[in-house]
Structure 1
Amino acid sequence: MQDSTRRTIRTTVQTAVTIAALLPLIVDAAQIPATLPWVAGALTVAAGITRVMALPAVNRMLPSWLRLSADPDEAALRQAVRE
């Protein structure tokens, strides 16, 4: 799996977790102005999850196919050699 695909999957998971956590609050706040603070909250949570996912300890806990390589160019080289 290419590094860009891994990054896309990780970002999608991070965003899905954030939206799932805040969706009930957004649905309860039916008025647009009332939802704006929740959008800011969603962005804050997404940024926090992204930061945590960047930690080496978290990267080691992920399945091998989803881990980021230390050097994206190295991952691309390994992928090219396999093909």
Structure 2
Amino acid sequence: MSDANKKAIRTAIQTGIGVAAALPMIVAASGVPAALPWVAGALAVAGGVARVMALPVVQALLPSWLRTDSSASRR
């Protein structure tokens, strides 16, 4: 896989995580009912991504400047 493809994939993943983190605020600001099935599903995925990103194993894999858990930075 070329470096350009790797960078494109990394950028897409980072963008997806950013949108997932902001999705609850986007839904609240837009006035779309959170009870709609597709909105509820998207919010569930966003919550899952946020939970996975908070795991100590994931925190340890992140660069030190991106970690939110101070104990992961000691490893």
TM-score (norm 2): 0.47
Larger radius of gyration: 1
State the structure with bigger RCO (CA 8 A, min sep 6), 1 or 2: 1
